[in-house]
């Protein structure tokens, strides 16, 4: 039973690492694009060509996509800004349980945000106009459901890992205890 849990834990960790690598490539690509486009625009303006009109609106969307996928990556790496004002008061013994509760809560809230993003997108598809390069607005705002969906997945994986690793750990302890 314990080996099965270890297997699932390893599978989840490897899947999570693969998703994280893809997300890292995406944010790196977006940041590179932001630096190149922004400096190209300045170069063009300074050299008297006046700049390209679509660069500034595209940069706005790049910042939005880059930022939200940065937040997805922060979730994958458990590096979100949080208050841990009472962290040092909490006994070590109950910390894993508390972590599981906060992760489950975060998963539920992220799921509600995902749903809100889908509702928003639906109304944009019905009533929204068109934006940069003639694409409808909702294409540019796809980042919201995508990011909140991925955030929800990462929180779920982290919660499952806490659960699996905690039981593996407990199994090891009881095993060493009975030995």
Partner 1 sequence: MAKTVTLLLALVGTPLFIVISALALLSYHGVGIDPSVVIIEMTRLADTPLLISLPLFIFAGTLLSESGTPTRILKLSHLFLGWLPGGLAVMSLSVCAVFTAFTGASGVTIVALGGILLPALIKDGYSDRFSLGLITSSGSLGLLFPPSLALILYGVVAEVRIDHLFLAGVIPGFLMLLMLSSYAVKSGAQAARPRKTELSDISSILRETMWEIPLPFIIIIGIYGGFLVAGEAAAVTALYVIVVEVFIYRDVSLRQLPDIMGRSMVLFGGILIILAASMASTNYFIDQQIPSKLFDIIKTYIDSKYTFLILLNVFLLIVGAFLDIFSALVLIVPLILPIAAGYDINPIHLGIIFLTNLQIGYCTPPVGLNLFLASYRFERPILQLYRASLPFLGLLLITLALITYFPWLSLALIDWLG
CA separation, residue 40 to residues 22, 30, 35, 48, 54 (Å): 27, 15, 8, 12, 12
Stretch that binds partner 1, among 8-16, 109-117, 156-164, 167-175 (CB under 8 A): 109-117
Residue choice 10, 15, 17, 42 for contact with partner 1 (CB under 8 A): 42
Which residue is associated with the tokens 């205890």? 177
Is the distance from CB of 145 to CB of 118 less than 8 angstroms? yes
Question: What does the alpha-carbon distance between residue 145 and residue 26 come to, in Å, rounded to a whole number?
Answer: 16
Closest distance to partner 1 from the beta carbon of 72 (Å): 7
Name which of 31, 38, 32 is nearest 57 in CA terms.
38
Q: Does 141 engage in binding with partner 1 (CB under 8 A)? A: yes
Instruction: Work out how close the CB of 46 gets to partner 1 at its nearest, in angstroms, rounded to a whole number.
Output: 8
Residue 77 binds partner 1, judged by CB under 8 A: yes
Residue 162 in the binding site for partner 1 (CB under 8 A): no
Q: Is 27 in the site for partner 1 (CB under 8 A)?
A: yes
């Amino acid at each position: 039973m314990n080996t099965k849990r270890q297997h699932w834990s390893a599978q989840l960790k490897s899947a999570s690492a693969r998703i994280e690598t893809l997300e890292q490539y995406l944010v790196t690509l977006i940041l590179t694009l932001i630096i190149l486009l922004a400096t190209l625009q300045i170069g063009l303006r300074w050299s008297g060509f006046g700049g390209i009109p679509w660069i500034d609106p595209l940069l706005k969307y790049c910042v939005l996509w880059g930022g939200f996928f940065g937040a997805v990556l922060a979730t994958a790496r458990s590096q979100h800004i949080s208050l841990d004002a009472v962290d040092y008061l909490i006994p070590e013994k109950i910390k894993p349980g508390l972590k599981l509760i906060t992760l489950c809560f975060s998963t539920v809230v992220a799921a509600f945000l995902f749903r809100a993003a889908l509702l928003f997108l639906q109304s944009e598809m019905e009533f929204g106009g068109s934006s940069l390069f003639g694409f409808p607005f909702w294409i540019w705002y796809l980042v919201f459901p995508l990011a909140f969906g991925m955030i929800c997945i990462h929180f779920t994986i982290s919660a499952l890992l806490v659960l699996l690793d905690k039981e593996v750990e407990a199994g090891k302890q009881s095993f060493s205890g009975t030995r």
